[in-house]
Structure 1
Amino acid sequence: MSSADDTGEQLAFIRETVRKARPRTWRGALPAEHLPVARVVVDKGLLHLDQFFDYAVPATMAEEALPGVRVRVRFGARVVASGRREGGELHDGFIVERRADSDYKGPLAPLAQVLSPEQVLTPALLRLCRTVADRYAGSLADVLQLAVPPRHAAAEAEPSPPPLPSPAAPEPGSWSRYPQGPDYLAALTAGHAPRAVWTALPGPTWPEEIARAVAATLAGGRGALVVLPDGKAAARVDAALTALLGPGRHTALTADLGPRERYRHWLSVSRGSVRAVIGTRAAMFAPVRDLGLVVVWSDGDGNHSDPRAPHPHVREVALLRAAEEGAGVLLGGLSVTVEAAQLLRTGWARPLAAERETVRATAPRVRTVTDLDQARDAAAQSARLPGPAWEAAREALTRGPVLVQVPRRGYVPRLACARCREPARCRHCVGPLEARSSGGVLECAWCGQSEAQWHCGECGSFRLRAQVVGARRTAEELGKAFPRVPVWTSGRDSVLPAVSGEPALVISTPGAEPVAEGGYAAALLLDGWALLGRPDLRAGEEALRLWMAAAGLVRPAGEGGTVVVVAEPTARPVQALVRWDPAGHAALELQERAQLHFPPVSRMASVTGAPHAVADLVSLIRLPEGTDVLGPVPAPGGRGEELERALLRVAPGQGAALAAALKAAQIARVALRTPDPVKVRIDPPDIG
């Protein structure tokens, strides 16, 4: 036999020996020679499956199956009589690690497919998602669905442009109106991580001020992230950044981009092409490289709380990212939340506010009236306005547009008996009745049943009155009172981004107020009692935030800007609006919360479900020592369903233990095959 034959036999012998020595997968495929095990997080948002699973990496996928890529795996395979595994559903997932071996001693299923070689799940993003899942008693898979957008192959195939060099440090501009403003920008440029609660001055300059903070961070060689409550605010900051830095240095992540464009923008951030991101709620997870600043505008806005499990809040995610990545923080808004006041009280953040003289020079004049102060003028009465509010609107319309904020949309959302003020209820489900059009029949807001022959069950009256009149009805009435003035409406169905500076009436629901060119001449804030009377711990804080957001669009008092708020003048939020002192209001609210042991002084979780299910879950929880159980009581918004809610309250520092206990109890319910679901929410936004 020739030496060549000897060599061939030896090589064949070696290959066969290696083949037998290397672990096989249960399908018989040969694994990769180097790091043959892939640890995968599978896209199954079930708490009892919130762990990593090991899969074999086939040799054919060894080069592409890298940490961070999307893969498809079989999950839930069964063992047949021969000992082989078969079946199992295909699920998407992410590789989080390549390993030399596995803790699982049996044969490993192979990866079914590498969906893309793009490494979208970075180690920093994985750590953040794990931290958020633990804080909110959720699963990592659920958080990853919020953090990583769905793949779009066409967008992934497009190359991202190279990053632009860092810009020059910006001038302070309008930040000079704040005593600490220039120093804050200088600290960002120097690469420091300043943390501030920013009480922004009223007027149109806050988008430019955010843009300058982002520019200062980029000048220091680090990245910036700005999260805003809605697309309208994001568009204003987008325009300000483009005007200051030009195109190509930042990208926007908003829901209206569409799947392809949003993923393309997200990839430009993940690949490092841009280092500044602005966007709405989902942008809180944007993988900005070398993060140096996180900005959250109007952190009390409800849009910052994700309605999908596990319901993370933008502010809390921002604070977690800042602590993990050593970034600066800027919590800004025209108002101040109690959570921001808590950060100031503990010294975690510093205040960033203007002097009182500057506030007085930029804020509008605020007047208070009650809805009992009706004018004798027939036009004012038909417009459903108190006399001073009607006079203010008539005078301001000679100088520019007038904003009218109505705390409800639609026509007449809620009705009551005109004689005894008893709320009008549905005979079928006891839900509230409403009139959705002029002259239309009454309909139930819960079950949709119509009510043509309503009469009051308390006094027998057949006459109705509106508890709160909606935006469309208000626009109709004001149009009659001011027949030669254009009337615009802005609400959930149609939000106006901006209006001209010409005289007009702009009827808007809270949060949908368009920006007026040159500012509004006046603003009327109607039905203040509807906001203050909500059965919620945050009612006063939320009312002040909504009022200040609208009043901040009005011209300064020196230019004739006037705000009329129709509410009880002695109410604390009303007085804070008159003085334009949101920080003082937040400090007093925090003081009361501390006395009552309510968040943010304590940590709280809500448990909502059928009565027996809530009791079952509470009995399974190994509560931290000193936990207070409040309730259970009927759940708000149950709409006729028999739901109860219990609140669990713990002292500061025990929030992580409470979240872990709730998660363990939910897993125990799954193991016991309990049928009725229970909704668990950490830091619920609607504490009644």
Structure 2
Amino acid sequence: MSLQPGRRVARVVVDVPLAHLDRPFDYAVPDKFADIVQAGCRVRVRFRGRLVDGVVWELGDSTDFVGSLQPLSHVPSGEPVLTPQVARLVRTVADRYAGTAGDVLRLALPPRRAAAEKRPSPTPAELPEGPDPAGFARYQAGPALLDALAEGRPARAVWTALPGEDWPARLVELCRAALSGRRGALVVVPDGKDLDRLAAAAGRLLPEHSWTVLRADDSPEKRYRQFLAASRGAAQVVLGTRAAMFGPVRDLGLVVVWDDGDDLHSDEHAPYPHARDVLIQRAWLDNCAAVVAGTSRTAEAALLVESGWAQELGAERAVLRAAAPRVQALGDDFELARDPAARSARLPSLAHEAARRALAAGAPVLVQVPRRGYVPSLACARCRAPARCAHCAGPLGISPRPGPGGARIPACRWCARPAATFDCPHCHGTKLRASVVGESRTAEELARAFPGAAVRTSGSTSGVLATVPGGPVLVVATPGAEPVVEGGYGTALLLDSWALLGRADLRAAEETLRRWMNAATLVRPASAGGQVVVAADAAHPVVQALVRWDPAWLAARELADRRELGFPPATRIASVAGSPEALADFLEALRLPADADVLGPVPEPARRGQESERERYLVRVPRSEGAALAHALTEVQGVRSAKKAPEHVRVQLDPLDLV
């Protein structure tokens, strides 16, 4: 249908959480908004009798709608916050994860702040010269990668950083190379601590105003101002945490994800996208370079190398040996012969002696423990069953803060009710034991073992330390919270390995190695006395990968095992959760590919405040059928939404946790 001459139509994606409405709707652009409305700007429209927010997907001169179009009700701003490139990415991500464009837009666009729009953005910086290739000279094909970025070629690499590498500086050098070729860059890191280090390196190596930071913990006004600096083209490099994966970078030439195995890269909001996969989609859509980087390697990164989509970027073994610390396992044959208790002791003599030598030499010691808190998990002392709250069935634990009189009384970690008495429902035992020891309790034990040394803790309970000064100090940290120390740690002790390796999790092996290597890379090289002691059996493949410093070997092994067993990334799996009745209706309407395999149902793990019974199915298909699976799931969600089904079914594609 043609419009009146001079009138235009705005195709608007409305902010309505209904799957059957996942498409643009046509609205007439009134004359009073004709000079304001642009593709990508925010609008307010009347939809089903009420005013809702929306984004102009595109502008046109005609419509297929038969009848009179509703006009746009209000245009808060003509600022084009949704670029055509990001709009295309939003649609691709929604289709890949069986979600809606509205869900993805809520992740991609920060809330509007009028004051930020009124402030002018800085003038775009002058293009820098290419970076010094010396930083990447230790890596095979490293200088060639910088040349490709400067020339605007879509090079793809899986980069394994050397121990002790100044990785923030290396990532910024990649961005500088892209800038020198008149292309933008986007770098996503797991958390604020990593982002602070990356921003500090950018301040040293990039021209002023050429880069901006997008982080979730900034004030809404500041975050929107930084977002506008990128969307307006003033800042051509965007650094950020997970939400920055949709950053509106102009002339995108490079995307980078650091430490892609960190679960912080997986969004907890529908449609639950993963930053690594989103950036890979951006590289494909925009035909730009991509780098998946880290000290370790995931099975997904191994698949990128195996398929030929990316090339491996690493150092020769001689260079690696010169940079790595000495790694020794407590369970090797020599240590067991010398200390028969090494296999069961929490701090055997080897670890104690290594820490003592480092402290005596004035070097700091890092102690990594896998759990935060004091005693975060308790069990029955007789049958070892997990201790549960009698009121809400939540897990019992002990807080680091003593109660009245200095006593530490077990309490529920969900409802906080104290458990002064305990009666095991399985064996009726009345005594409790610690099943997991946290960083606070470990710090107490080490303070008694090394009475002359200062002890610092870094974790979510005590607060995360970004750095610690050098000197004879014991630093007890949870994985991901290890502070950086100038000159590196003298020794690192990796304790309670059973808590990581013994998890019933598909990613237990690669996640354990990732956490260990992230800690071990902070230790000095072996030539400078650096030593890592891991409390684990030396014959375990994960320990062998750490001792040999060969994460690529373990990632390839994990990929081969998962392919044989039919697990991701060799397959794609959807988790479908809801009440038994809702799931029965959902699966009856689901038209799956011929090769699909439905597993379940199993009870869904209880969540805080959840009262009704919920179950979960897993639907598995070959990787080549992933798009068909996503389409089938989207179709059923749309039908249920249109029929106003009373219960919601939670659909998540490629979940990190399959248990």
What interval of TM-score do these two structures reach, taking the shorter chain for normalisation?
A: over 0.9
How far does residue 239 in structure 1 lie from its aligned partner after superposition?
1.3
Question: Is structure 2 residue 171 aligned with structure 1 residue 202?
Answer: no
Aligned match of 1:303: 264
Question: Is structure 2 residue 571 aligned with structure 1 residue 602?
Answer: yes
Aligned match of 1:81: none
Q: For residue 490 of structure 1, what is the amino acid of its counterpart?
A: S
Instruction: From the superposition, tell whether residues 458 and 623 of structure 1 become closer, same or farther in structure 2 (CA, over 3 Å).
Output: closer
Residues 185, 216 of structure 1: 8 Å contact kept: yes
Instruction: From the superposition, tell whether residues 259 and 659 of structure 1 become closer, same or farther in structure 2 (CA, over 3 Å).
Output: same
- Find the aligned partners of 1:633 and 1:157 in 2 and give their Cα distance: 53
| CA deviation profile, 1:144-201 (whole Å, cap 9, x unmatched) | 1111111111111011122122111111122111121111111111111110000110
SS at match of 2:13: strand
Aligned match of 2:28: 56
Aligned match of 2:442: 474
The counterpart of 2:384, out of the listed 418, 421, 424, is 421
Question: Is structure 2 residue 226 aligned with structure 1 residue 244?
Answer: no
Aligned match of 1:316: 277
Question: Is structure 2 residue 377 aligned with structure 1 residue 409?
Answer: no
The counterpart of 1:388, out of the listed 338, 350, 353, is 350
- Find the aligned partners of 2:162 and 2:2 in 1 and give their Cα distance: 68
Residues 416, 465 of structure 1: 8 Å contact kept: yes
How far does residue 33 in structure 1 lie from its aligned partner after superposition?
4.7
How far does residue 607 in structure 1 lie from its aligned partner after superposition?
0.4
How far does residue 110 in structure 1 lie from its aligned partner after superposition?
1.3
- Find the aligned partners of 2:328 and 2:58 in 1 and give their Cα distance: 62
Q: For residue 341 of structure 1, what is the amino acid of its counterpart?
A: A
Higher relative contact order, chain-length normalized (CA < 8 Å, sep 6+)? 2
How far does residue 288 in structure 1 lie from its aligned partner after superposition?
0.7
Aligned match of 1:450: 418
TM-score, L = length of structure 2: 0.94
How far does residue 637 in structure 1 lie from its aligned partner after superposition?
4.7
Residues 370, 386 of structure 1: 8 Å contact kept: no
- Find the aligned partners of 1:374 and 1:207 in 2 and give their Cα distance: 43
Q: How many residues align?
A: 647
| CA deviation profile, 1:610-654 (whole Å, cap 9, x unmatched) | 222222211111001110001111223546752211111111221
Question: Is structure 2 residue 462 aligned with structure 1 residue 499?
Answer: no
How do residues 227-306 of structure 1 correspond to structure 2 at under 5 angstroms?
227-306=188-267
The counterpart of 1:660, out of the listed 631, 637, 648, is 631
How do residues 487-636 of structure 1 correspond to structure 2 at under 5 angstroms?
487-493=455-461, 494-636=463-605
| CA deviation profile, 1:102-135 (whole Å, cap 9, x unmatched) | 2222222211111101111121111110111111
How do residues 339-350 of structure 1 correspond to structure 2 at under 5 angstroms?
339-350=300-311
The counterpart of 1:67, out of the listed 39, 57, 61, is 39
Instruction: From the superposition, tell whether residues 69 and 460 of structure 1 become closer, same or farther in structure 2 (CA, over 3 Å).
Output: closer
- Find the aligned partners of 1:446 and 1:258 in 2 and give their Cα distance: 30
Residues 374, 385 of structure 1: 8 Å contact kept: no
SS at match of 1:676: coil
Q: For residue 648 of structure 1, what is the amino acid of its counterpart?
A: V
How far does residue 375 in structure 1 lie from its aligned partner after superposition?
11
Residues 329, 538 of structure 2: 8 Å contact kept: yes
SS at match of 1:360: helix
How far does residue 270 in structure 1 lie from its aligned partner after superposition?
0.7
- The worse-fitting range, judged by mean Cα deviation, of 561-570 and 631-640 is 631-640
- Find the aligned partners of 1:644 and 1:442 in 2 and give their Cα distance: 31
- Find the aligned partners of 2:382 and 2:8 in 1 and give their Cα distance: 79
Aligned match of 1:35: 7
- Find the aligned partners of 2:410 and 2:649 in 1 and give their Cα distance: 34
| CA deviation profile, 1:353-387 (whole Å, cap 9, x unmatched) | 001111111111111125998999x9x99x95222
TM-score, L = length of structure 1: 0.90
SS at match of 1:73: strand
Instruction: From the superposition, tell whether residues 150 and 576 of structure 1 become closer, same or farther in structure 2 (CA, over 3 Å).
Output: same
Aligned match of 1:226: 187
| CA deviation profile, 1:276-313 (whole Å, cap 9, x unmatched) | 11111111111111111111100111111011111111
Residues 324, 524 of structure 2: 8 Å contact kept: yes
| CA deviation profile, 1:54-76 (whole Å, cap 9, x unmatched) | 11211111111221111111111
- Find the aligned partners of 1:333 and 1:412 in 2 and give their Cα distance: 31
Instruction: From the superposition, tell whether residues 74 and 459 of structure 1 become closer, same or farther in structure 2 (CA, over 3 Å).
Output: closer
SS at match of 1:680: strand
- Find the aligned partners of 1:146 and 1:200 in 2 and give their Cα distance: 30
SS at match of 1:72: strand
Aligned match of 1:681: 652
User: Runs of 4+ in structure 1 displaced over 6 angstroms?
Assistant: 371-376
Question: Is structure 2 residue 83 aligned with structure 1 residue 114?
Answer: no
Q: For residue 453 of structure 2, what is the amino acid of its counterpart?
A: V
SS at match of 1:593: helix
Return the index of the structure with the highest Cα Rg. Answer: 1
- Find the aligned partners of 2:210 and 2:84 in 1 and give their Cα distance: 24
SS at match of 1:351: strand
How far does residue 429 in structure 1 lie from its aligned partner after superposition?
4.4
Residues 298, 510 of structure 2: 8 Å contact kept: yes
How far does residue 430 in structure 1 lie from its aligned partner after superposition?
4.0
Unaligned runs of 5+ in 1: 1-20, 24-31, 77-87
- Find the aligned partners of 1:571 and 1:669 in 2 and give their Cα distance: 48
Residues 33, 59 of structure 1: 8 Å contact kept: no
Aligned match of 1:212: 173
- Find the aligned partners of 2:64 and 2:87 in 1 and give their Cα distance: 21
- Find the aligned partners of 1:627 and 1:287 in 2 and give their Cα distance: 37
Instruction: From the superposition, tell whether residues 467 and 577 of structure 1 become closer, same or farther in structure 2 (CA, over 3 Å).
Output: same
Q: Provide the alpha-carbon RMSD of the alignment.
A: 2.3
- Find the aligned partners of 1:158 and 1:431 in 2 and give their Cα distance: 50
Unaligned runs of 5+ in 2: none
Question: Is structure 2 residue 297 aligned with structure 1 residue 336?
Answer: yes
How far does residue 568 in structure 1 lie from its aligned partner after superposition?
2.8
Aligned match of 1:434: 397
SS at match of 2:623: coil
Q: For residue 650 of structure 1, what is the amino acid of its counterpart?
A: V
Residues 2, 61 of structure 2: 8 Å contact kept: no
Instruction: From the superposition, tell whether residues 33 and 304 of structure 1 become closer, same or farther in structure 2 (CA, over 3 Å).
Output: same
Instruction: From the superposition, tell whether residues 255 and 429 of structure 1 become closer, same or farther in structure 2 (CA, over 3 Å).
Output: closer
SS at match of 1:681: strand
- Find the aligned partners of 2:391 and 2:120 in 1 and give their Cα distance: 60
How do residues 80-99 of structure 1 correspond to structure 2 at under 5 angstroms?
88-99=49-60
- The worse-fitting range, judged by mean Cα deviation, of 218-227 and 97-106 is 97-106
- Find the aligned partners of 2:576 and 2:446 in 1 and give their Cα distance: 45
Q: For residue 142 of structure 1, what is the amino acid of its counterpart?
A: D
Q: Sequence identity of aligned pairs in percent?
A: 55
Aligned match of 1:28: none
Aligned match of 1:131: 92
Residues 413, 469 of structure 1: 8 Å contact kept: yes
How far does residue 670 in structure 1 lie from its aligned partner after superposition?
2.3
- The worse-fitting range, judged by mean Cα deviation, of 544-553 and 424-433 is 424-433
Instruction: From the superposition, tell whether residues 104 and 575 of structure 1 become closer, same or farther in structure 2 (CA, over 3 Å).
Output: same
Instruction: From the superposition, tell whether residues 387 and 462 of structure 1 become closer, same or farther in structure 2 (CA, over 3 Å).
Output: farther
Aligned match of 1:79: none
Aligned match of 2:327: 366
How far does residue 417 in structure 1 lie from its aligned partner after superposition?
3.1
- Find the aligned partners of 2:105 and 2:204 in 1 and give their Cα distance: 34
Residues 373, 387 of structure 1: 8 Å contact kept: no
Residues 375, 387 of structure 1: 8 Å contact kept: no
- Find the aligned partners of 2:19 and 2:428 in 1 and give their Cα distance: 53
Question: Is structure 2 residue 362 aligned with structure 1 residue 397?
Answer: no
